[in-house]
Amino acid sequence: SWHKVREKLKGEVGEVEYRTWLRQIVLGPIEDGELILYLPTRFLRDWVRSQYEERLQTLWRTERADVQGIELQVKRGLPEVPPSADIASDSVVEEVTAQVAVSHEVRSDLAVPLDPRFSFDSFVVGKPNEFAYACARRVAEKPSSPGFNPLFLYGGVGLGKTHLMHAIGSELTKTGNVSVAYMSAEKFMYRFIAAIRSQSTMEFKEQLRSVDVLMIDDLQFLIGKDNTQEEFFHTFNALVDAGRQIIVSADKSPSDLSGLEDRLRTRLGCGMVADIHATTFELRISILEAKAKASGTHVPSKVLEYLAHKITTNVRELEGALNRLIAHADLVGRPVTLDTTQDVLKDMLKAHDRRVTIEEIQRKVAEHWNIRLTDMSSARRARAVARPRQVAMFLAKQLTSRSLPEIGRKFGNRDHTTVMHAVNRVAELMEQDTSFAEDVELMRRMLEG
């Protein structure tokens, strides 16, 4: 498939550009759904990243289902290293100049191809992202409406910012003759620098100012890059004054992006600011269900629950884990089960593991059975509360080295005989009731890793 990707790239960018920048890419392993591509120098790596990363990623993802993303790394000692190309990153600007001048290949198009998989349809909506989603939909329907310009999306890594921006872009280009430019802030900077060095800043500015919708992803990258910020500020003003739509994403809210110029921050906060919150368990389950369904492979709900409990911060990782399971099941021709899941994802989940504490057991069990955490230590004896509490005690005994009295203390100062009774009772119930046993077993695996 490398061959295919290479040929496609060559066809798209042309022989000269291909030879200048892309010829030296060496294929590495796939790790956690990320395909590693090696380049011989930092300079080449940075340049390829800024100019071709999205394209490479899209091509690879289309080519291979098990590739989620790509990661460009520097590896010394690869064949064919040009002797002068090995430079420190702060002289990248100089090097870009030289290279651009040599190749005469400043790409003139601004539009980065949008990934068709990042659509509104494939975006799973839940409490944490419903506001951002609604704002994105609104802007896609009616760009430049008052109050929604600029649209500023922010949130942690892997929560769907880029997805929503691509979705807006695709929707707009589908429905009308709206010109859309999407690029990362990093690419904006590289383009800007390249334009300065090849003395084509006017062209660059004109191009930027001719679009109807400008999207800049990961704006936090411009922190400390004063000249680029300045240029972005002017572009921003020119576009907004001309009634065009700006969409920006970042990892923090405008007011928390210290290191951006004040006047830029102020203007960024002037339109609609939408926060994508961390995912909830429910949202993670919905996302997994949607992705499993789309894959056509049956994944038991226990497995989905396990993943949603284990991988909590980044949807990309969640998706990567699921894809790995599905790829594995396909390959060995056996269904996905909780057992194979643990086995297949062993190394991946290790990073998430810590020693289990009683507090954590209480939290997870309360979450799973939908009771309040405080009820782990409360005196309430209703079955709906008492049973999960007993399960938590049982797991505390199994998974920690705490003594019965110690465990009792953590559960609202209960007596060690109460803990003992709970442990026996749960064991007994597990014998009698297989679905209860499965629930407890799931909890145990989740906590234990």
Nearer to Mg ion, 68 or 162 (CB): 162
CB 231 within 8 A of CB 192: yes
Nearer to ligand ADP, 268 or 407 (CB): 268
Nearer to ligand ADP, 16 or 157 (CB): 157
Q: With both helix axes pointing from N to C terminus, report the angle between 185-197 and 42-63 in degrees, rounded to the nearest 10.
A: 130
Instruction: State the DSSP H helix or E strand holding residue 77, giving kind and residue range, or none if neither.
Output: none
The site map against ligand ADP for 155-184 (x = CB under 6 A) is x-xxxxxxx---------------------
Q: In the complex, what is the shortest distance from the CB of residue 65 to Mg ion, in angstroms, rounded to a whole number?
A: 21
Total of residues contacting ligand ADP (CB under 6 A): 17
Q: In the complex, what is the shortest distance from the CB of residue 153 to ligand ADP, in angstroms, rounded to a whole number?
A: 8
Total of residues contacting Mg ion (CB under 5 A): 2
Tell me how far apart the alpha carbons of residues 89 and 112 are, in angstroms, rounded to a whole number.
24
Instruction: State the DSSP H helix or E strand holding residue 351, giving kind and residue range, or none if neither.
Output: none
Nearer to ligand ADP, 58 or 237 (CB): 58
Q: In the complex, what is the shortest distance from the CB of residue 251 to ligand ADP, in angstroms, rounded to a whole number?
A: 8
Query: How many helices and strands in the chain, by DSSP H and E?
Result: 20, 8
The one among 240, 315, 365, 404 contacting ligand ADP by CB under 6 A: 315
Q: In the complex, what is the shortest distance from the CB of residue 162 to Mg ion, in angstroms, rounded to a whole number?
A: 3
Q: How many residues does the chain have?
A: 449
Nearer to Mg ion, 161 or 389 (CB): 161
Helical segments of 296-415, H only: 301-310, 315-332, 338-344, 346-350, 358-369, 383-399, 404-410
Q: Which amino acid is at 103?
A: S
Residue with the closest Cβ to ligand ADP? Answer: 160
| DSSP characters over 316-327 | HHHHHHHHHHHH
Partner interacting with residue 315 (select from ligand ADP, Mg ion, none; CB below 5-8 Å by kind): ligand ADP
Q: What is the DSSP letter of 125?
A: P
Nearer to Mg ion, 163 or 191 (CB): 163
Per CB under 6 A, does 129 bind ligand ADP? yes
Per CB under 5 A, does 162 bind Mg ion? yes
Tell me how far apart the alpha carbons of residues 84 and 75 are, in angstroms, rounded to a whole number.
16
CB 115 within 8 A of CB 53: no
Strands of 151-155's sheet, edge to edge? 180-184, 213-217, 245-250, 151-155, 272-276
Within positions 284 to 303, which residues make up the interface with ligand ADP, using CB under 6 A? 287
The one among 316, 397, 410, 414 contacting ligand ADP by CB under 6 A: 316
Partner interacting with residue 118 (select from ligand ADP, Mg ion, none; CB below 5-8 Å by kind): ligand ADP
With tokens 């989905």, the residue in question is: 304
Burial string for 314-334 (b: 16+ CB within 10 Å, else e) reads: ebbbbbbbbbbbbbbbeeeee
Which of the ranges 61-69, 100-108, 161-169, 278-286 carries the binding residues for Mg ion, by CB under 5 A? 161-169
Q: In the complex, what is the shortest distance from the CB of residue 67 to ligand ADP, in angstroms, rounded to a whole number?
A: 12
Within positions 92 to 121, which residues make up the interface with ligand ADP, using CB under 6 A? 118
CB 40 within 8 A of CB 74: yes
Partner interacting with residue 287 (select from Mg ion, ligand ADP, none; CB below 5-8 Å by kind): ligand ADP
CB 212 within 8 A of CB 143: yes
Residues that bind ligand ADP (CB under 6 A): 118, 122-124, 129, 155, 157-163, 287, 315-316, 319
Residues that bind Mg ion (CB under 5 A): 161-162
